Amino acid sequence: MKSLLQRIAKKHYDKELAKTYGSVNTLKKDSERKYVSDFPSLNQGANIAGPNDLHTILMKLKPKGKYFDIGCGRGKDIIRYEKKGYDSKGIDISELQVIEARKNLVKVGIKVEKVQWLDALEEVSSLKNFFDLITSLHIYQHFTSEEALIATKNALSMLKDDGVFLLVVKIDVDDWDEYFRKGVKVEVEDEKNYVFRMWDDDLGCWRPGYHLFFPGEIEKIIKEAGGNIIDVPTYKGLMKGVVRHDSGRNFPCVAYYIKKVVRK
């Protein structure tokens, strides 16, 4: 199934996109009806104001323990969890990000060994059933479907039987119109393989190679990897653990709270 963007996106879009095509309302109506029937769990999610809320929910599920951040970037979430009393560690495939993360850890008195240079697709047997909380935020757009399955299996293998894995994924949606109005700029690089590139205002350049999943694709990967999406407490009450929110750059995302299926 192709989204509206995949069907019509051939050129650079900006805030004025809505003025450039006439049949968008018909396309949107048809595709949204199909989208809702395919992925009903999205209707049960809460709109979260930002990433801080996602972490607050996660900490409520597990108020203490060992925390692991897959794709930790500059280490801000390692610092966040350390300050809350968790024993925190993180990995990133970018050596430059690891260097920056270690600099940031030193500034607040955290050991640099907390961050390691490692690929999320590498299995670490010494860490099986080791962590109470694991997060992976905004790295799946760099994976193919096969790689996303491997990364999810690896994460769940490191999770304790009663642990929780928070997975946040940039997604493809049927109605991109509202995001274009917010200033989100996306182009199709490879329509066959659903690869996009996104404009980064901070860097002043395009960030290429984004594979945007539909939520239903991610949910199938979670299930195949041996995970179970759980209900979570939010400010709106107990909600299905599929939480719609927009990233700090107004990009559409879905957050999943996952436990691994324990077979006795």
**pLDDT per residue as tens digits for the range 253-264:** 888 999 999 876
Range of the domain at 107: 39-172+212-260
Q: What is the pLDDT of residue 6?
A: 41
Count of domains for the chain: 1
User: What is the chain's length?
Assistant: 264
Task: Encode pLDDT of 32-55 as tens digits.
Answer: 323 222 333 333 444 454 667 788
Summarize the confidence of residues 208-224 as an average pLDDT.
87
Categorize the per-residue pLDDT at 62 as very low, low, confident or very high, splitting at 50, 70 and 90. very high
Summarize the confidence of residues 131-146 as an average pLDDT.
91
| Burial class of residue 43 in the structure, from the number of CB atoms within 10 Å of its CB (0-12 exposed, 13-18 middle, 19+ buried) | exposed
24 domain residue, yes or no: no
197 domain residue, yes or no: no
31 domain residue, yes or no: no
Q: In the predicted model, is pLDDT for residue 246 greater than 70? A: no
7 domain residue, yes or no: no
Q: Which of 136, 149, 147, 143 is nearest to 90 (CA)?
A: 136
239 domain residue, yes or no: yes
198 domain residue, yes or no: no
222 domain residue, yes or no: yes
Q: In the predicted model, is pLDDT for residue 80 greater than 90? A: yes
Cβ atoms within 10 Å, residue 59: 18
Q: In the predicted model, is pLDDT for residue 14 greater than 60? A: no
CATH number at residue 236: 3.40.50.150
Q: In the predicted model, is pLDDT for residue 228 greater than 80? A: yes
Q: In the predicted model, is pLDDT for residue 78 greater than 90? A: yes
Mean pLDDT of all residues belonging to the chain: 76
Categorize the per-residue pLDDT at 9 as very low, low, confident or very high, splitting at 50, 70 and 90. very low
Categorize the per-residue pLDDT at 17 as very low, low, confident or very high, splitting at 50, 70 and 90. very low
183 domain residue, yes or no: no
